Amino acid sequence: MKVDLVIKNARVVDYRTDFMGGVAVKDGTIVMVGVNDILPDAHRVIDAEGRCLMAGVIDPHCHLGVGYPFEEDMRTETMQAARGGISSIYLYIRTKEASYIPFYKERKAAAEANVCIDFGFHFGIQREEHILEVPKIVEETGVQSFKLYFGYEPDNPIGIVPATDGWVYATMQRVAKLEKGVVSVHCENTGVASWIKKEMVASGRQDLAAYTESRPAFCEVETIKRMIFLAERTGCPLQLVHTSVGAGPDLAAEARAAGLDVTVETCPHYLIRTAYDPDLDMRAKISPPLRDEEQKEWLWRGMLAGRINSLGSDHVPFLPKKGEDLWTEFPGVVSFPWELPLLITEGYHKRGLTLSQLSAVNAYGPAKRFGITGKGALGPGSDADMVLVDLDEGREVVHTGKGTCIYEGMKLKGWPVMTISRGRVVFENGKVDEDYVGSGKCLTNPSC
Same structural domain for residues 41 and 62?
no
| Cα 286 versus chain centre, distance | 15
pLDDT 10s digits, 38-77:
999 999 999 999 999 999 999 999 999 999 999 999 999 9
Domain for residue 244, yes or no? yes
Whether the Cβ atoms of residue 245 and residue 184 lie closer than 8 Å to each other = no
Tell me what percent of the residues of the chain surpass a pLDDT of 70: 100
pLDDT interval class at 16 (50, 70, 90): very high
Range of the domain at 392: 2-52+382-433
Average of per-residue pLDDT values in the chain:
97
Same structural domain for residues 286 and 422?
no
Domain for residue 127, yes or no? yes
| Alpha-carbon gap, residue 151 to 169, rounded angstroms | 17
> How many helices and strands (H and E) does the chain possess?
15, 17
Q: What is the pLDDT of residue 320?
A: 87
Same structural domain for residues 362 and 386?
no
| Res 448 pLDDT > 80 | no
Same structural domain for residues 114 and 183?
yes
Query: Is the dihedral angle over the CA atoms 154, 158, 164, 167 positive or is it negative?
Result: positive
Same structural domain for residues 137 and 270?
yes
| Cα 133 versus chain centre, distance | 26
pLDDT 10s digits, 47-58:
999 999 999 999
Domain for residue 441, yes or no? no
Residue 394: which CATH number? 2.30.40.10
Number of structural domains (the chain) is 2
**Residues 298-326, mean pLDDT to the nearest whole number:** 96
Give rounded-to-5 percent helix, strand, coil for the chain: 35, 25, 40
| Alpha-carbon gap, residue 240 to 264, rounded angstroms | 5
Q: What is the pLDDT of residue 154?
A: 87
Domain for residue 18, yes or no? yes
Domain for residue 444, yes or no? no
